Amino acid sequence: MSLVMATPIHIPVLREEVLKALNIQPGKRYIDCTLGLGGHAKSILENSQPGGMLLGIDADPDAIRLAKTTLANYAKTTIIVNDNFVNLERICKENDFLPVQGILFDLGISSAQLEAPRRGFSFQYDSPLDMRIDPTQQLTASDIVNTYTENELANIIWNYGEERYSHRIARHIISNRPISSTTELARAIEQAIGRRTEKIHPATRTFMALRIAVNHELANLAHALEQAINCLDHEGRLAVISYHSLEDRVAKQLMIKESKGCLCSPSAPVCQCKHKPALALVSRKAIKPSLGEIALNPRSRSAKLRVAERL
């Protein structure tokens, strides 16, 4: 089943919380850096009329096609760009979309991407080892699995998957090369570490780690968040939804850092960094889904929303 054959049922995570976090106002401009199927973008546009504008960005051309259908009634107030959010400032300048009053990042991959067998994101389907969000990029999961050294593989699996059996898995992957499909890889991982007592499949963390590595997700996020600050108008809001600790850590650390003045060591007699705060934290703690939302949409259970305001 291709992602473009049918429009999946899409439930935007933390929908009401995002609208409140971004402080949506009529006539203002907003950016959805992870447009996906357009659920959050549609809510933002509905609540920013009359006169509200939205710039939607996504690296996945399949998602772009579906989002255009979702947002068809707002075609005159929406700019949709097929690009990676790591190029945020350039995209804004090229579309004369600066400054803006709110920027949203809804990280990770969508249910539609997970459930599209040809994409290779899930071991639930027997498919090629791809995992590219942007199908035009060269690096695939197959390249990493079949060409990287044991140490390189183990470092990816540990650093991005926080998998304690990373070296054992890496050795077993290498001994089973070539590995051509998701099910072959999942089988090799299961053979390496067995079925543990955890609820998740033994390949879950490794698959997540490979996806993050293939798409340079954490590095791209860090660069994009820095650019987002520059794109925000005074009192503009930055909202980030993450689904695992590594993404959340990147967003949390940047927001805390940019909400402080001096970043010098406490032992420094005089400030040398000249750093000035660019953000104010709107909420000290991450905002999480309600029990009601989790019941309706179980995939929202790990979501965390962090919000900051431009000074």
User: Which CATH number covers residue 72?
Assistant: 3.40.50.150
pLDDT at 9: 54
CATH number for 128: 1.10.150.170
Q: Are 154 and 301 in the same domain?
A: no
Domain tally, the chain:
2
pLDDT at 64: 95
Exposed / middle / buried, residue 252 (Cβ in 10 Å: 0-12, 13-18, 19+): middle
User: Which of 156, 181, 215 is the last residue before a domain boundary?
Assistant: 215
pLDDT at 3: 40
Contact in structure between 46 and 77 (CB atoms under 8 Å):
no
Residue 256 covered by a domain: yes
pLDDT at 1: 30
How far is the C-alpha of 22 from the C-alpha of 229, rounded, in Å?
Answer: 14
Q: At a CB cut-off of 8 Å and minimum separation 6, what does 310 contact?
A: 229, 232, 233, 234, 235, 236, 237, 238, 278, 279
User: Which of 163, 187, 215 is the last residue before a domain boundary?
Assistant: 215
User: Which of 156, 182, 215 is the last residue before a domain boundary?
Assistant: 215
pLDDT at 197: 60
Q: Report the Cα 59 to chain-centroid distance in Å.
A: 11
Cα 256 to Cα 64, 251, 299: the distances in Å are 32, 9, 27
Q: Are 33 and 68 in the same domain?
A: yes
Domain with 271 in it: 15-106+217-310
pLDDT in tens, 223-282: 999 999 999 999 999 999 999 999 999 999 999 999 887 777 777 777 777 778 899 999
Cα angle: 263, vertex 85, 288; to 5 degrees: 70
Give me the residues of the chain with pLDDT under 50, please: 1-8
Instruction: Note the residue count of the chain.
Output: 311
> Nearest to residue 110, comparing CAs of 67, 141, 53, 72?
67
How far is the C-alpha of 251 from the C-alpha of 308, rounded, in Å?
Answer: 10
Query: Pairing mode, if any, of strands 29-32 and 53-58?
Result: parallel
pLDDT in tens, 192-227: 988 766 678 899 999 999 999 999 999 999 999 999
pLDDT at 5: 39
